Chain A
Amino acid sequence: MSGHTYSALRHPLVDPPRSLSQITDEIAAPMERAPSASFWAALGAAVALLALGAGMVTYEVATGIGTWGLNKTVGWAFDITNFVFWVGIGHAGTLISAILFLFRQKWRTSINRSAEAMTLFAVMCAALFPLIHMGRPWLAFWVFPYPNSRGSLWVNFRSPLLWDVFAISTYFTISLVFWFIGLIPDLATLRDRAAEGSLRRKIFALLAMGWNGSGRTWHRYETVYLLLAGLATPLVLSVHTIVSMDFATSLLPGWHATIFPPYFVAGAVFSGFAMVLTLMIIARKVLGLEHMITVRHLENMTKVIIVTGGIVGLAYGTEFFTAWYSGNPYERFTFINRAFGPYAWAYWTMISCNVLSPQLFWFRKIRTSPWAIFVVTIFINIGMWFERFVIVVTSLHRDFLPSSWSMYRPTVVEVGTLIGSFGLFFTLFLLFTRVLPMISIGEVKSVLTFARQPAGSASHAVPAAAAPVLEEGAA
């Protein structure tokens, strides 16, 4: 090897290299051109699914929870499964934007924006389910501890469902603020690109909050961003920890387990990365951003999946060990029933998708083939949905008293609502790709090749001050 060898880390993150203006142009392009026919088709499909879901939810709220397949034994099924699934999806966004930021993982720059958007949309989908799963959703505001005229009536601070309310609303608020702060420099860029006096310019001017690109502004911005990253980081752990406590603090065998918090967090990151990959692989292709979201990005994410998938697999094993080692007959039965009972198909779907399929990522060939990754991530998405289904339904349907054992079968309304939540998610995501920069323009510029190579050898030498340099002591 002549000269110097680049480590994997030093491999350019934008490949082939681009100039600063090219970056801006390319990222802004989808917002500035008329939507393509395929966009309209995709949006139409998403809105159709959303409409289906809206119809199903309307019917359910108007008629009663009886339109679902629940019964006296199985009080939760699709509703809470979907809720945990969507909350889990959201986790990758926060992990990428906050934790990877703190760990100075430069490769995050081209995926964090859309991952965060995905977080917000997923949390919106998730929040829908606790609302509509209530028997009387019009009284949902009762879960908030607000001063009232009903004597000393207060909420139950011992209830994990209440913790959920706080956890989810905090998570959503912080994620939204974090995302918005991160957007401000780009919004300013878009403002400046828009024609003088146009509505577009007015809107972006309002959103950019007077960004002027000065050194002081950048400094303040970076400080706030760092602080918010620090604030959001514990949320990655806390939200799913608290979601897991919905189950862990109950006394139902199969729910009542101390390993739930780490198990759920790992599962959430696992499913979230799978969903990010699913979306990115499509988006980079459709929007022509393959040089910014490179195979290396994808590969890095598959590595996270291998790790978190391993943790999830370990948790599955641990649950069985605990069930056996505890000597608790109910616990033992629950797990035997999970693997060999009437819902064994769901359990083995989960195992195949979550434990077996990620093992393919040990092969570099698969790790670097976007379409292979896509297929595996779809499996993981399915598997993680089934993980929650297995936890919720198989634990409930056969618990302490055999007299109450029953079977659960979803109705059209429940399936329609699940499909509708995907409709909501994709509708929001597709609109997002049209109205906001999918990749952080400012941050990507900081990882361009010029910043990495020795002075003078850079082919695209541009004054470094033009772009924010977030790294310290790099190159």
Chain B
Amino acid sequence: MPHDEKKPWQSLAALRGDPAELARAEREFAEELPVGPGAIASGHAHGALVQLRSGGDVSRRGFFGLMGLSAAAVGIAACQRAPVAKVVPYLSEPDGIVPGVSNWYASACAGCDAQCGVLLKSRDGRPIKVEGNPEHPLSQGGVCAVGQASIVSLYDASRARAPLERGQPIGWDALDAKVLAGLEDARSKGKAIRVVAPLRTGPTFESTLAQFLAAWPGARVARFEPSGELTALADAHQAAFGARAVPSIHLDRARTLASFACDFLGSWVAPVAFARQYAKGRALPLIEREGGKLGQAEGAPPDFARRHWQLEPALSLTGASADRRHPLAPSELVPALGGLVRRLALRSMHPDRAAIANALPRASEPRELAAPLDALAAELSASGAQALVLCGASDLTAQALCVAANQLLGAYGTTIDIASGASLPAADLPLAQLFTELEAGQVGAVIFLGTNPVYAHPDGEKLAELLARAPLSISTADRLDETARDVALLAPDHAPAESWGDSEARRGLTTLRQPALMPLFETRAAVESLSAWSAGKKHTQHELLCARAEAELYPRALHKEPRFDLFWTRALHDGFVETEETPLPASFSVAQLGSLFALPLATPSDTELWLHSSVALRDGRWSNNAWLQELPDPLTKTVWDNAACIAPARATALGLDDGDLITVTANGRSITLPVLVQPGTHPATLAIAIGYGRTAAGNIGNGVGVNAFPLLSGRGPARNFIEARLVKSGGQKPLARSQTQASLEGRPHIRTATLAAWSADPGASNPEEEKLDSLWSGHEYPGHRWGMAIDLGSCTGCSACVISCQAENNIPAVGRDEVSRGREMHWLRLDRYFAGEPDSPEVLHQPMLCQHCTNAPCETVCPVLATVHSSEGLNQQVYNRCVGTRYCANNCPPKVRRFNWFEYRHDDPVERLALNPDVVVRSRGVMEKCSMCVQRIQEGKALARRDGRPLADGEIQTACQQSCPSQAITFGDLNDPNSRVAKLTRDARAYRLLHELNIGPVISYLTRIKNTGA
């Protein structure tokens, strides 16, 4: 092309043909690249360049060569593999283990002495969750918070990992040799052999103990029960009926229930079974409401005469549920019970009424209780045999009066039964005598079988000193606890989930304990130790249990099997055996009982100590459990501490406020602890929870709270009517509380009505929701739509659901300091409010969890869509998408979202075994909240799909629902109009939280109905 022929020129010099200019134009770069000799001299280039460059100047080729080499080097360097962690499948798969599928083992709970049946959920050989055994006749599927939390105690890093001698490891053989030598030595020197055993154990344990006692003549057993409740109960019944037993109680049959300081829903005897019975007795029929029209009642009509009275010194969980509640001082307990028995005797036709009335203590009840006692006596008498009087005090006179009252009412055989009670071993050696013998140097060997009297006995300190005088002292504690520290040898027991065992829940009902994992450490069951220390052949715990089952249970079992092995398989599968038993021989004798009335009475004082078990820690044996320590007390909402509860009026008079330190002195001992102003406390009462102040529980429980047992010094187990002195000691210890606001501020979040109002209008105090308009088109729920109903009438506030949720969802415990900053992590919490008069308030409980709103306020505000709505109506939190703006939590009306303020570690190799592999562990900086146990929903759906059947109503249970002792929580599919939850949602009592905001919660609460009326 013609214009191509025009030669372009860059400058006039180039056009002219200036050689210098032409040479410059030839060069590609106007300036040298910084890789020449000069650059090398100035240190800019790498040494390798020197070898590559040719002729003093770096060539283009050389440069590219170097670049290529660098790229290749980088590439090769990047070829190093990330560290590989291999997942090795089973070479030969063990029978019955499918990775990712849980195995369930029926077993017995060891949280307290109630002997509830549980199912242990085991994954890959490790138990991860305790669920109630729905078939167990007593607990019927419920488990309390303590039972739930026993998983943490199983994987407690503070457990002893091998037998120890004075803290140094010693082999089992060496230990046994030392023990046998020591026992032999004691026998030869004529010194005493003493065993300190718990009050309530099991038949196999008792028979092994009997063998041990037989092997060492002269050996005697002292029984130790820290709370002293069962001892007093059993002793009173022994006096009255000649049978040392814990009676079986049927709260569901009691139309009138009078409870004198008896916390049967919280900690007394068997709270789970009682809560189930209690809820059953008070259940209301389901009445649907649609557009103002009421449907047919479904279920039995309520009993309008059913009423629960509670007279107690300090507010308890049971008192919070009562229809009528009256505070009374601890010293007024016996006079009030006496007054009641006197009134009942007047109305009774019982042949012994005169004898009982004549034997009654002289003290008359306080004047302000006269009217309530009149009314109570009238109601009790009207109910007759369908009435029940209970007393929770560990005071023999009070228990005896209680027996008298029930006897006058004719309640024995209906609401309370001694013939089918659980018999306790006969009292052998009083513990006080052991002290005397130790002091006198008469004891050659002392064995503590799972008891910790150095901590829990009022004179434990003295015992610790005395133990040094015994040549041989042994403990079978699972850790170096207070007692085990002071004995010579520790023969650590298995954790309950590692042990075999049995227990008599009531006569004719044996709960079986089977292990769900091999022992984690070099421990040995206490029965095996006992067996090893007895003469004759050593037996394993399994052999001991089977032998007893074959001899005792198999012949008398209600459910017959042709062979013992078939029977045994079935029994282990069920977790319990029912046997045909003759009733306990019991005949009422007023003379014996009356003698107990005559015990000396306490003189009232202005400060009376009331020591009680807390719902979480009970007698303190599980103090090294972070879940229980962080479980807010249902009534005080404190965590990680015990406090002295005093009445608001008293606090004002003394100028005390929450957190002020006081020194309490009783029986010559003093403790200093913070005050908590607690409504419902009697003005003269100072209520302190036991179970705190451990010094050798482990790294978690040590030094939490104050030990109140020493205040009972010299008193033995009778722990009521303790006169105390209270001194403001100055200083403050702010309490860590999960809830600081006690009043509902008149807001309708918890709706209550009286039974009378409800019967007049089942929608009483619960106007029907009006339909609200929305700008949104709404979600579609083509398949399931999950929902929940929570019956506030059944909920007692026991907090089992809180721990169940924590166990299921790997929720961390964050510690006292973080809770006091308002950062506890519970997905499900129990809100507690007070209403009415502060001296005897109405207590309202409300389980609060994510409401899975239809128009969820959290969903719209998240900038990164980390919280979204599922097609099944769940509000889902996507942890790995969350960047942590916390906007969702701010916009959440019930404030149920929980933020990971720090990295909450799950590092301990033992403790982390408790984690549920189905639920991810959240890292710091992300939000979390209730998922409605989506992992359980998915599992349930997968099972149904595998079997090719539709999902049945009630098949999927959330963790909170499963463990609820009073079955207050119902979960299910709202798209199925016949599901239980759908019906409850339509109940006239159902309301939804903050409906007026149009957020559309899928959780319905059912109005709480109380029979407070006249």
Contact = CB atoms under 8 A, between A and B. Distances in A.
B130 to A, nearest CB: 27
Contacts of A73: 822, 895
Q: Is the interface of A mostly helix, strand, loop or mixed?
A: loop
A291 interface: no
A84 B220 CA distance: 76
A156 B864 contact: yes
Contact of B831 (A76, A161, A403): A403
Interface string A143-172: 100000000011110111110010000000
A144 B616 CA distance: 47
Contacts of A399: 893, 895
B103 interface: no
A329 B744 CA distance: 12
B268 interface: no
B570 to A, nearest CB: 47
A250 B749 contact: no
A75 B882 contact: no
A65 B925 contact: yes
A405 interface: yes
B864 A404 contact: no
A133 B925 CA distance: 10
A396 interface: yes
B860 A135 contact: no
A321 interface: no
B533 interface: no
Contacts of A401: 747, 749, 831, 848, 893-895
B883 A134 contact: yes
A62 to B, nearest CB: 11
A405 B740 contact: yes
Interface string B832-869: 11000000000000101000000001001111110000
A361 interface: no
A404 B824 CA distance: 11
Contact of B865 (A69, A72, A155, A402): A155
A400 B894 contact: yes
**Interface SS of chain B:** loop
Contacts of A71: 821-823
A72 B824 contact: yes
Contact of B860 (A158, A246, A400): A158
* Size category of the binding interface on chain B: 35 or more
Contacts of B746: 329
A46 B468 CA distance: 68
Interface stretch (B54-62, B543-551, B676-684, B899-907): B899-907
Interface string A229-267: 000000000000000001001111000000000000000
Contacts of B747: 329-330, 400-402
B899 A135 contact: yes
A333 B895 contact: no
Contacts of B890: 75-76, 250, 252, 396
Nearest to B923: A136
A143 B831 CA distance: 35
Interface string B361-384: 000000000000000000000000
B745 A161 contact: no
A134 B900 CA distance: 11
A155 B885 CA distance: 14
B498 to A, nearest CB: 36
A401 B999 CA distance: 15
Contacts of A435: none
A398 B739 CA distance: 12
A64 interface: yes
Nearest to A142: B864
A307 interface: no
A139 interface: yes
Contact of A72 (B740, B744, B895): B895
A159 B868 CA distance: 12
Given A71-B821, A71-B823, A165 B863 contact: yes
B883 A64 contact: no
Contacts of B898: 72
Contacts of B926: 135-136
Contacts of A74: 822
B823 A72 contact: yes
A432 to B, nearest CB: 32
Contacts of A161: 861-863, 885, 887
B899 A72 contact: yes
Contacts of A63: 902
B699 interface: no
A59 to B, nearest CB: 12
Contact of B745 (A76, A250, A402, A404): A402
A66 interface: yes
Given A66-B902, A406-B740, A159 B822 contact: no
A252 to B, nearest CB: 6
A363 B889 CA distance: 47
Interface in A404-452: 404-407
B901 A65 contact: yes
A276 interface: no
A462 interface: no
Interface in B801-849: 818, 821-824, 829, 831-833, 846, 848
Interface in B722-749: 739-741, 743-747, 749
A250 B861 contact: yes
B741 A403 contact: yes
A346 B305 CA distance: 55
Given A154-B865, A159-B860, A142 B741 contact: no
Contact of B925 (A134, A165, A251, A403): A134
A142 B864 CA distance: 7
Contacts of B903: 64
Interface in A114-138: 130, 133-137
B900 A135 contact: yes
A96 B970 CA distance: 62
B886 A70 contact: yes
A140 interface: yes
A66 B901 contact: yes
B2 to A, nearest CB: 37
Nearest to A164: B863
Given A69-B821, A72-B824, A142-B881, A251 B891 contact: yes
Contacts of A153: 865, 881
Contacts of A64: 900-903, 924-925
Contacts of A249: 860-861
A158 B857 CA distance: 11
A162 B863 contact: yes
A250 B894 CA distance: 14
Contact of B895 (A69, A250, A404): A404
A126 B626 CA distance: 41
Interface in B742-780: 743-747, 749
A214 B391 CA distance: 103
A252 B891 CA distance: 6
A72 B825 CA distance: 9
Contacts of A135: 882-886, 899-900, 924-927
Nearest to A397: B822
Given A72-B899, A156-B862, A403-B848, A136 B740 contact: no
> 8 closest Cβ contacts across the A-B interface?
A135-B884, A135-B925, A66-B901, A71-B822, A75-B886, A403-B831, A404-B895, A136-B925
Given A72-B823, A133-B885, A407-B740, 12 more contacts: A65-B886, A65-B925, A69-B821, A133-B886, A136-B924, A142-B864, A159-B862, A159-B887, A165-B863, A252-B890, A401-B848, A404-B895
23 contacts: A64-B900, A65-B884, A72-B889, A74-B822, A75-B887, A75-B889, A76-B886, A135-B883, A142-B881, A143-B864, A155-B864, A159-B861, A159-B887, A160-B861, A161-B885, A246-B887, A249-B861, A251-B857, A251-B893, A400-B894, A400-B994, A403-B832, A405-B740
Interface of A: 63-66, 69-76, 130, 133-137, 139-140, 142-143, 153-156, 158-162, 165, 246, 249-252, 329-330, 333, 396, 398-407
